[in-house]
Amino acid sequence: MSEELVCRAPAKTNLVLEVTARRKDGYHEIDTIIQELELADEVRVTVGGGSGVSVEGAFAAGVPLDETNLALKAAMMLAERCGRSFANVAIHLVKRIPAAGGLGGGASDAAAVLTLLQSPWGASDADLLDVAHNVGSDEAFFLHGGTARARGRGERVQKLPGLGPHGVVLFVPPTTIERKTARMFAALDLHPLDHGGLAEAFAHRERGPFASSDVHNAFERVAFDVFDGLHGLWVDLETRIGDAVRLCGAGPTLFWIGAPGAATRVASAAGGARCTVIATATSSTL
């Protein structure tokens, strides 16, 4: 008899993203403050009926259906760790988070699948965390959610007090690029890296209002060189809304953050720009 399990898989943005060193293993040392958003995919896992991964939703285009799909990869790795068969597990994703946009949608889907399979497969918290570390860099954050600081390559996660309610508006360009994150790090390697300290300061700040002007993202040094047309969109959006916009993660999505009551105005003011506008908000739970 089959069992269908369902949960949400939230998007994220980075409020601080410092890249402080190059590592011998090919990764970079980062120190980042990650914030969960209300915008979320829906993840359905059916145990005992069907197999593989299927996708629907506004941002289904371009989502892989093979083993490069992070949700599928996570399920296969957890099955191996727990001595379970993956042959009768079907994953269905309702994609509301733009793919490859810097919002962590694929990593969040993977973490959601791990969470859903934990009980039926008898996996421990340590099992989930180990698999998350092996799937990618953001998956560990999504096992925690809320507001958190992540270090190393992103796998060392420290929960922080919640940011509190803030409005967020996302501006999603019509296209992204292949091997985006690798290309962004390669471009950043041609520039001085961060000295660090901003994420540390955020971790000890008093809870209060946060604005786009408070965001730091190391990738903004190179984003205009890597993504064609992004600078023009950036300037157009700031002119339209009369406020700063910033880069989400490794891009190319841009975002505004500020008072909850201002998000509707900002989204409306951005109408007509060459991007998809999504109004959302910060969230404190997974």
Rg (Cα) of the chain, in Å, rounded?
A: 19
Phi then psi dihedrals of residue 30, to 5 deg:
-125, 160
Cβ atoms of 251 and 219 within 8 Å: the answer is: yes
Strands 167-172, 254-258: pairing is: antiparallel
Is the preceding omega at residue 252 within 30 degrees of 0, hence cis?
Answer: yes
Given the residues 41, 109, 138, 194, the one annotated as active site = 138
Given the residues 12, 73, 95, 180, the one annotated as active site = 12
Query: How far is 220 from 246, CA to CA, in rounded Å?
Result: 8
Neighbouring C-beta atoms of residue 261, cutoff 10 Å? 9
**Tokens linked to 146:** 């809320």
214 as an active site residue: the answer is no
Specify the residue for token string 């949608």: 105
Phi then psi dihedrals of residue 238, to 5 deg:
-65, -35
Cβ atoms of 117 and 45 within 8 Å: the answer is: yes
- Indicate the residue type of 258: G
| Residue 254 Cα distances to 124, 189, 221, 247, 271, angstroms | 37, 22, 14, 5, 14
12 as an active site residue: the answer is yes
| Residue 177, C-beta contacts closer than 8 angstroms, at least 6 positions apart | 183, 226, 227, 252
Q: Could you list the active site residues?
A: 12, 138
